[in-house]
Amino acid sequence: MSFQVSVAINDGPFQKKTVSNSTTVGEINNDAMLIWKDTKIVFDVSDGANDFGPSTTMQQLGVTSISVLYIYTTSFPCPSGDLRSIVPAQVRLINQFASAASNLFNQQQSSAPSSSTQRAPQRAAREDDEGDMAKAIFNRKVLDNPATLKSVTETMFFKLKNDMGKLSYQLPDLVERFMENKNQTYKEFETMFRSFVEEEVHKEEIIKNNPNSVEAKMFLEAKKNKELINEQYLHSVTHHPEDMISVTMLYINLTINGVPVKAFIDSGAQKSIMSMACAERCGLNGLIDRRFASMARGVGGTEKIEGKIHLCDVKVEDAHFSCPFEVMNRREMDLLIGLNVLRKHACCINLKNQRLEFGNGTSTPFLQSHEIDTHLKEIMALPEEEMHMEEQ
């Protein structure tokens, strides 16, 4: 019996793979050297205690239809040489939010009042941590010692590939430079990192040797701004971790001519839009008034409106609503409910209860993120890469 699992290779985007209990690792990826299932390692070719290899089956790994697999191949960089040091980016993110939630809970449990005097030692500790790392890397001794520079370069490359989250806070400029070419080879990184260290050492030497110069003051001001940004970031992660997660857009289920449709709710859109593909699925081609063909101009550019459906019967839950729709050839959007329909039917977007409420008392829930992803990938047939926002 076959089923589908989500698979990410070398921290790339997730793909759906159809497998069965007898499917082997080699059939999914013959170069696999390490596999995480959900939040633990289940396959490690370096583990001598188990006979892992391309012939290992999904059943042996305990893979089910709800499993998420993170596969790392021989092409994935591992400077430390220890495969088990590789941690999936998604797992690291989960751990970061868990840590932030734990910190928040512990702070709330504390009976001691919060004050600037209490926060001062914490802030000082963070600044010391940042300062120690900067001093350890950005100094002339490191730059002039090939062996030390090589060691630091390997460490930074490994951290950027496997634990970028912490470095994003400690060395944001380095992370930003790395993200300009995140798929770079170690040799490319080696050149880039040396150049980066030389620039930082130059700045530190100017600040030290000529602190009253215009250039030194400019570097110091930039440094203080970065420290403030880092403090605000840490506060946000610790106290408001939900702000770090992408917001799920608002969709609802509805029916047109007996055909189920997932509609995007957009109060910022003046008109309601239906794609030509949706009109065809719902058998509405003959109702398109092409006398209303025109051009639509917006933030995304200019697109052609094929015509207008003046009265479309839309069923939400057990209620029926008449709605007008402009018809456009857009594959990335099936149906958009704009302000004209929302106002016509006195709709209320209730974010507290996560529901769209109509003036006649009808209420329907907003869809969960996994339902929206399924809709966009299967109904809209979008390429996988368009579904992902790399942390990018």
Who's near 308: CB < 8 A, 6+ residues apart? 288, 289, 292, 324, 325, 326, 327
Number of H helices, E strands in the chain: 13, 15
* Vertex 264 angle, CA 260 and 265, to 5°: 120
Q: Phi and psi at residue 207, in whole multiples of 5°?
A: -60, -40
Length of the chain: 392
Residue with tokens 């600044």: 127
Question: Of 266, 289, 334, 373, which one is the catalytic site residue?
Answer: 266
Q: What share of the chain is helix, strand, coil (3-state, %, to 5)?
A: 45, 25, 30
Q: Where are the alpha helices (DSSP H) in 29-139?
A: 58-61, 89-109, 116-137
Residue 266 annotated among the catalytic residues of the structure: yes
Who's near 36: CB < 8 A, 6+ residues apart? 42, 69, 70, 87, 88, 91
Active site residues: 266
